[in-house]
Amino acid sequence: MAAPLRAPPPTSLSFFSSSLFQIPKLTSLSKPNNSFNSQFKRLSISCQTATIPILSFTGEKIGETFLDLKSAPPETARAVVHRAIITDQQNKRRGTASTLTRGEVRGGGRKPYPQKKTGRARRGSNRTPLRPGGGVIFGPKPKDWSIRINKKEKRLAISTALSSATESMICVEEFGENFEKPKTKEFIAAMKRWGLDPKEKVMFLMMDVNDNLGLSSRNIGTLRMLTPRTLNLFDILNSDKLVLTPDAVDFLNGRYGVDVEIESGDDEEEEGESEEEGGEGIEAGEDSTVTE
């Protein structure tokens, strides 16, 4: 009887299905190639200009906008994004696991029973690791798991991910004031008018989220409502659809655009910038230099 076939496990990040992050086919080295030196070309940061439709609150198309961001070349895009996402995930580890050694366990100052004439094994302390309740040998202690990444590389990873997700990206006019009171049902109805499935993973990027809008969307488990301060690489990769506002598009073009030049002090290595969200942790227009 043949063994049943098992389906491959699903990937944790839905964005990795993009063709940009597929492993390229390796060229055969058995055939001679006269242009061997021509393969090693200087890699440069490219730009991808994408046209994004602008929808009204009722779901009608009212215009178009452009997203012109830096992106890493296909040869290095996978490595840049992988390094940035690993840095974000590893910096979330608190490293607070701790056990007590026999010197830290309370009690055990006196000998439990006499050395001889009891018929039992000799025992000098209740804190011995050989007994329940004693110390732990080679147990975990608080440790710093954080790693650092170059700031230019981190920004390039975010802009590359955004550039590759433009096909599943839409722009919606400012709609925060349309919610006079918290109403999840109205928010789901608005998503359907925009062509969004509430069962899919959707990320909203807005410059400001008011109270009524935040309360209307927080009960939708597949939805992430982000601001420039909480924008992070994991939510971009883990989303099936991305929804921006016109102000958010201007922010992305102003921060990750082709014409943006990072100051000389910004290329220093940095740790995870946002402990709670794992994102950049920087307000729009705020200087983000790292001081040692």
- Between 13 and 220, name the one with better pLDDT: 220
Q: Given its phi and psi angles, is residue 17 left (phi above 0), alpha (psi -120 to 50 degrees) or beta?
A: alpha
pLDDT of 147? 92
User: Structural domain boundaries of the chain?
Assistant: 50-91+148-256
Residue environment code for 143-179, b if the CB has 16+ CB neighbours within 10 A, otherwise e? eeeeeebbbebbbbbbbbbbbbbbebbbbbeebbeeb
pLDDT above 50 for 278:
no
- Which residues, 6 or more positions from 150, have their beta carbon under 8 angstroms from its beta carbon? 267, 268, 269, 270
pLDDT category, 239, cuts 50, 70, 90?
very high
pLDDT of 30? 45
| Cα distance between residue 15 and residue 230, in whole Å | 19
pLDDT of 20? 52
pLDDT of 282? 39
Residue environment code for 72-90, b if the CB has 16+ CB neighbours within 10 A, otherwise e? beeeebbebbeebbebbee
- Which residues, 6 or more positions from 124, have their beta carbon under 8 angstroms from its beta carbon? 111
pLDDT of 279? 45
Instruction: Provide the sign of the torsion angle of the four alpha carbons 39, 45, 51, 53, taken in this order.
Output: positive
Q: Among 20-34, 53-67, 97-111, 228-242, whose mean pLDDT is lowest?
A: 20-34
pLDDT of 22? 53
- Which residues, 6 or more positions from 191, have their beta carbon under 8 angstroms from its beta carbon? 197, 198, 202
Per-residue model confidence as pLDDT tens digits over 185-194 = 999 999 999 9
Residue range 10-37: mean pLDDT, rounded = 48
**Contact in structure between 151 and 266 (CB atoms under 8 Å):** yes
pLDDT above 90 for 268:
no
Residue range 7-35: mean pLDDT, rounded = 49
Q: Given its phi and psi angles, is residue 285 left (phi above 0), alpha (psi -120 to 50 degrees) or beta?
A: left
Q: Among 26-30, 130-134, 149-153, 205-209, whose mean pLDDT is lowest?
A: 26-30
Q: Which CATH class is domain 50-91+148-256?
A: alpha beta
Mean pLDDT over the full length of the chain: 79
pLDDT of 204? 94
Per-residue model confidence as pLDDT tens digits over 93-149 = 999 999 999 999 988 788 888 999 999 988 888 898 988 889 999 999 999 999 999
